[in-house]
Structure 1
Amino acid sequence: MTVLVLTRAFDATSDLVVSELTARGVPVYRLDPGDFSDGLTVEAHLGPETSTWTSVLHGQHRDLTLDDVHAVYYRRPSPFRPHPDMTDHDARWARSEARAGFHGLLAALDCPWVNHPSRNAHAELRPVALATAARCGLSVPRTLITNDPVAARGFVDSLPGKVAAYKGLGPGGPTSRGADAHALWTTQVRAHEIEDTVNLTAHQFQQWVPKAYEVRLTAVGGQLFAAEIHAGSAAGRIDFRTDYDNNTYRPCQVPAPVAGGMAALLDALQLRYAACDFVVDQDDGHWYLVDVNPNGQWGFVPELRAPIAHALADLLEGEHP
């Protein structure tokens, strides 16, 4: 039985899992859904005599019968690329049809996913993730989502130190288009810095927790892998993703209440995998969850690459610890 890996052409994180599965002799079929329909075709049949699709993918080098798929690793595939000769109107239509048809056939696979894209999409909604985390017993800093600049200024003024962390609610920044896409990093903001243009869309403001360090906690099934992240620059101390080269990492133990909360969180969000970010209070060592990444990175912590790849391979192969 085959493990289907859905990812873009070059993804070092997927490579680690594919290598682990291959070393075990597990058949792997890797494809980028963005290649549909340039070099990738599909043929799917459904009739009165069956309740499931009989589907075959025809790739450039080999074919895959979707009935043979045992599990799916969904790892940041690239978006559908319409033919360059299409008009904008036709390209929008083609994207919609590809999503409903090709992506729909993949989503219909009745097998274990890590994670199913519908569960990722649900967990990526920040209001859903943070409220669920709080209900599961994880500590979440005071948070405001608003498009009212007056409410935003009042909230920030009410916080200890009168400073908040601002981070975009979505996956990209305000100019996320094609090659110009970029991340919107976490920034510190004070009330007088909040402009009236806040009223143009939703914004998230969160209590700034003075931190000793951050923790990336990666959950794979029932296993937890945590690493302290110690930033080596001023920018990195605000958002560690801005300066990976100057960060240092140290695997660490997870406090029992956090471990219990994480188990409940994955169960509530129906996830088999998640990478969560915590800040650890510099005064009392308390862990505060600030982000849930259902499809987050994990390969940047050297000591945890092999253990996490092994755990993901176990999950995809069907061996659950």
Structure 2
Amino acid sequence: MTATTADEPRELQERRVAPRGRALPHPDRKGRSPIFDAPTRTGLVFRYLILTIVLLVSIGPMLWELSTALKSKTEDVFTQSIHLLPRHPTLDNFGQVQRTIPVWHFAVNSLTVAFVNVAGNVVGATLAGYVLARLKFKGRKLLLGVFVSTLILPAEVTIISKFQFITNLGLGDTLLGVCLPDMIAMTNVLLMRNAFLALPKEVEEAAIIDGANAVQRLRFIGIPAVKGVLSVISIFAFIGAWDDFLWPLLVLQTPDKLTLTVGLSYLDGQWSHDPRVIAAGTMIALIPILALFLGLQRYFFRGVAEGAIKG
């Protein structure tokens, strides 16, 4: 005898499988595919096939760049027959990058810009997000609308005004001039606002009854609950500052102050044009991003759920 649907717990109902191995459709799952959504063999094959395609599209170019960076001078990288694995792997291309440009000096400049942007976004977006989510004042909705409206304009539209603003402040050809426009991104402010809106109101009301002010509520209640979103903001701010090419190219003129992305362009010049060396420089620029993501990955996915889905 089998129990009826009404007498079964919800978890058991979701796991019910027909005798022939095909999952029975759940009565609440209207409009969902009984083949691809159910834990059947066809559904699992379809899921893994999609994941494999996405994986190849995502990491395929990176693997090809790594393969090119490890190929020796005797291997033809322009051949029509593709060989992903180098026949004569070598690390000489990475040494050639260092001999061609001061790559580590450029990397220090990029790290300086990236860390300043991360600190500015973490502090500024946290404060602004908490104010928009938890504090009541006149004009809050209008201010939120202004923040959202800034996301409509592409960055290329405001780049001339930003350049004039930085120049008038006397920050042209400085790393601070590179950092200043992106120290607080509106996207990060909205992420923090959604994260703070997800906090239970009862907890904050209890803190107010105990006499906690806004700063204390932010420090002891708000920030511990949104650590995942802070890691997301840190990763996005770091990647945005590290990979930026156009803005540092416009602001910086002195070669010693160039960031790594701008400095790597010297690898493809009049006196140097080797795709192996260019690929090696690209892999060097990728190392800090991978290290940061690996260090914060356990907070990253939790932060996406807190800030981007809830609210």
TM class by shorter chain equals under 0.3
TM-score by length of 2: 0.25
Higher relative contact order (CA 8 A, sep 6+): 2
Higher percent of residues as strand: 1
Larger-Rg structure: 2
Greater helix content: 2
